[in-house]
Amino acid sequence: MTVFAILATVVMQAQTEIIDYEIPPIPDNEFTIDARLNTRGEIRVGGFDPEIEEEGKSPKAQFIMGQYRINLGYKRSDWFEMRLSPQFSGIWGQAGGTLSLAEGWFSMRHNKTGLFAKIGRQVLEYDDERILGYDDWTMTAPTHDVLKFGFEGYGHKVHALLAYNQNSDNVSAGTSYYAGGIQPYKTMQALWYHYTTPKSIFEISLLGMNVGMQSLKSEKPDKTFYQQLFGTYMVLSPSIVRLEGAFYYQLGKEEHGIPLNAYMGSAKLKVTPNDIYNLYVGYDYMSGDKYFAVPAGGNLGMVYHDVIRGFCPIFGSHHEFYGAMDFFYVDSYVGGFTPGLQNLYTGGSVSPVKGLNINAAYHFFAIATNLEKLKKPLGHEIELSLNYSFAKFVRVGAGYSYMRGAETMEKLQHVSDNRQLHWGWVMLSVTPTIFTHAWNDKKKQ
């Protein structure tokens, strides 16, 4: 009996302790103000048109750019949220710069059913961000004006996206939308499905998109051409190994009304033995064309195309995948030529002390198609970078990249004659939380 009495006492005490340490209730209201200030200096040697050297100008550049943002956030319990983020970005010494609204949205969620809706200017980040990503390296914050709604729960996520864009100076011209907006597309409809196993060992996503682009044909300037993208992204991550794979297919018509028949595939293997270091290897393949594309109106290239086979990841975080020097899919080949890309890469990162992360990577680039008088290899790129966090909201980063370009790189890209390309950068990021306040509604009398 004594034993049972002791056990009963222990259980009662444990229950009392559990009651004492209950999770506090979610406040009715919460308001926060935080900031984001990014300042980056760059030095570039090479990467310009060879004609610059012929004119006696130096193929070198040094500049400092900044991105400064204030974020205002409000939450109502756990069902309503809104955010406003005005932003200024530009080069130091620039007369103008860009003052814009990086984000401006509100969302509602029904927790019992898992249904939600989010409308306004917002970030779209899906899977590895290869197709829909937030490539903020350019300091311009590429967000979308979109309605997003769907369901999340029990390992399943379904998101639907609807967007419609129009230039303010084309209000009297019907549904025209040309370059100059925050995104290059005129309309977009997308459906994304994601499933994760209970322990996240396996994940799979399915994506379907229909994108409307404003016509660039002189005889049909008000027409909209639609292109479609379908594909999948999968992750298998048992233990210390993570295997990623993706495949996407593009069809429909591009801006000049030429049919599309393009695709891309990628695979990546990453091993993380512990929290100190990791190693990875991967390969990307983007289909391409053999000749410059010539629309029906002519005057853009050499050979008329009845089909475009160059894959175009127009919404992805290109800086993250195809080399830090941004020669591919951020910059473009000469004349918009799209011979595709092969990217074989390997690298790793190490964190020797708390707050410090050092990364190294190697890329071998090649075009995807066979061109007359040009070989496939584009060149080799080596990247080194480090990031150190002084505090929770203060981080400094630095990096250096070197590329040895091949003859094909010289012919198809804006590179210097000797094909020795250097790029270095230093960046300071400050992201403090300035103010936060939570309160409950007053009880009705």
Q: What percent of the chain has a predicted confidence (pLDDT) above 90?
A: 58
45 part of a folded domain: yes
Please give the average per-residue pLDDT across 181-199, as a whole number. 91
pLDDT band at 257 (very low <50, low <70, confident <90, very high): confident
Residue 337, pLDDT > 90, answer no
- Neighbouring CB atoms inside 10 A of 391's CB total 9
137 part of a folded domain: yes
Domain count, the chain: 1
387 part of a folded domain: yes
pLDDT tens digits for 213-223?
Answer: 988 876 777 78
So what's the pLDDT on residue 50?
Answer: 45
Please give the average per-residue pLDDT across 194-212, as a whole number. 95
So what's the pLDDT on residue 57?
Answer: 57
Q: Which residue has the higher pLDDT, 109 or 416?
A: 109
Q: Comparing 106-115, 287-296, 337-346, which segment has the lowest mean pLDDT?
A: 287-296
Q: Comparing 16-20, 96-100, 226-230, 243-247, which segment has the lowest mean pLDDT?
A: 16-20
What's the mean per-residue pLDDT of the chain?
85
Q: Comparing 106-120, 212-226, 330-344, which segment has the lowest mean pLDDT?
A: 330-344
Q: Which residue has the higher pLDDT, 80 or 13?
A: 80
So what's the pLDDT on residue 376?
Answer: 92
445 part of a folded domain: no
pLDDT tens digits for 339-369?
Answer: 899 999 999 999 999 999 999 999 999 999 9
pLDDT tens digits for 23-77?
Answer: 667 889 999 999 999 999 999 886 545 444 445 555 678 999 999 999 999 999 9
203 part of a folded domain: yes
So what's the pLDDT on residue 226?
Answer: 96
Residue 204, pLDDT > 50, answer yes
CA dist 196 and 205 (Å) reads 9
So what's the pLDDT on residue 172?
Answer: 64
Residue 246, pLDDT > 80, answer yes
pLDDT band at 319 (very low <50, low <70, confident <90, very high): confident
Q: How many residues does the chain have?
A: 445
Q: Comparing 132-146, 271-285, 410-424, which segment has the lowest mean pLDDT?
A: 410-424
444 part of a folded domain: no
So what's the pLDDT on residue 55?
Answer: 54
Q: Which residue has the higher pLDDT, 20 or 443?
A: 443
pLDDT band at 109 (very low <50, low <70, confident <90, very high): very high
Residue 9, pLDDT > 60, answer no
**Structural domain span for residue 29:** 2-439
Q: What percent of the chain has a predicted confidence (pLDDT) above 70?
A: 82
pLDDT band at 20 (very low <50, low <70, confident <90, very high): very low
CA dist 154 and 285 (Å) reads 34
pLDDT band at 10 (very low <50, low <70, confident <90, very high): very low
Here the CATH number for the domain that contains residue 251 is: 2.40.160.100
So what's the pLDDT on residue 298?
Answer: 42
